[in-house]
Chain A
């Protein structure tokens, strides 16, 4: 196995387990590793990460579906506005500095983490 393929396999396995365990796509793992290991630019890494996530999330949704925990109606409720959001987000990404967005996102994450725990 080439070292390139081996590295992609490591990214796939770690991102996949993250996805199945936490219900996320695994982009947190994929983006930094594509930049670090393959010298991807930031935008290329985010674009390629989204492509991989589409496949990983489909597999993980299927696996969780076997346990009977997927609610398609609620997925649609939260997923439809999210599809609108991702179109806006990718368009914005080509035009603005992501600094403010990263900061705002960080704040929202901390607040929702607190809401989950308390």
Chain B
């Protein structure tokens, strides 16, 4: 592993975590390309490895958000506990698809996500709480 790759991986990890804290995602959308580009993983390996990294990021992020009063634990747990069917379908599908198709679909998701964020960035400021009286 070259030093520049290591620095790249650390930098994209940091960026992924910050993005996760700011917009409420696990940061996988950045960690997957980071693992492919800097750490030489295939698309499928990167997705698998990213998931393990996300667990720590999301757990710490949720803990911090709980401190700010922003975590509704029961809803979070219900969503997590009801997810295995979807997880299984997605995982089997990821392993069945070709690397190329997987990479192209992932890139499409990234661009869609970028579009949503860009809209948020340029949207007019949210209206203030309705003025009383």
Residues of the B chain whose Cβ atoms lie less than 8 Å from the Cβ of A27: 20, 23-26
If A27-B23, A83-B57, A89-B17 touch, whether A71 touches B83 (CB-CB below 8 Å) is: no
Could you write out 22 A-B pairs with CB less than 8 Å apart? A8-B78, A20-B86, A20-B91, A23-B49, A47-B62, A50-B26, A56-B80, A56-B87, A61-B48, A74-B9, A78-B13, A85-B13, A86-B18, A86-B20, A89-B17, A89-B21, A94-B68, A105-B114, A109-B114, A112-B37, A113-B114, A116-B106
Contact B25 A25, beta carbon cutoff 8 Å: yes
Q: Which residues between 40 and 68 of chain B lie within 8 Å of chain A, taking CB atoms? A: 41, 43-62, 64-66, 68
Residues of the B chain whose Cβ atoms lie less than 8 Å from the Cβ of A112: 30, 33-34, 37, 110
The residue that B21 contacts in the complex, of A16, A19, A93, with Cβ under 8 A, is A93
If A47-B68, A110-B114 touch, whether A13 touches B21 (CB-CB below 8 Å) is: no
The 9 closest A-B pairs by CB, nearest first: A89-B21, A85-B17, A23-B47, A46-B24, A20-B90, A55-B80, A16-B86, A25-B26, A51-B76
Contact B25 A63, beta carbon cutoff 8 Å: no
Contact B18 A88, beta carbon cutoff 8 Å: yes
If A21-B94, A116-B43 touch, whether A85 touches B16 (CB-CB below 8 Å) is: yes
Residues of the B chain whose Cβ atoms lie less than 8 Å from the Cβ of A75: 49-50, 52-53
Residues of the B chain whose Cβ atoms lie less than 8 Å from the Cβ of A46: 22-24, 65, 70
Contact A25 B13, beta carbon cutoff 8 Å: no
Residues of the B chain whose Cβ atoms lie less than 8 Å from the Cβ of A50: 20, 24, 26, 58, 61-62, 65, 71, 76
- Check A54 for interface membership: any CB of B closer than 8 A: yes
A19-B109 Cα distance, complex, nearest whole Å: 12
Q: Specify the main secondary structure of chain B where it touches its partner.
A: helix
Q: Mask for A10-24, Cβ within 8 A of B = 1, else 0?
A: 011111111111111
Q: Which residues between 58 and 88 of chain A lie within 8 Å of chain B, taking CB atoms? A: 58-61, 63-65, 67, 69-72, 74-88
- Chain B residues at the A interface, C-beta cutoff of 8 Å: 6, 9-37, 39, 41, 43-62, 64-66, 68, 70-73, 75-95, 103-111, 113-118, 120-122
Residues of the A chain whose Cβ atoms lie less than 8 Å from the Cβ of B52: 57, 61, 65, 70, 72, 75, 79
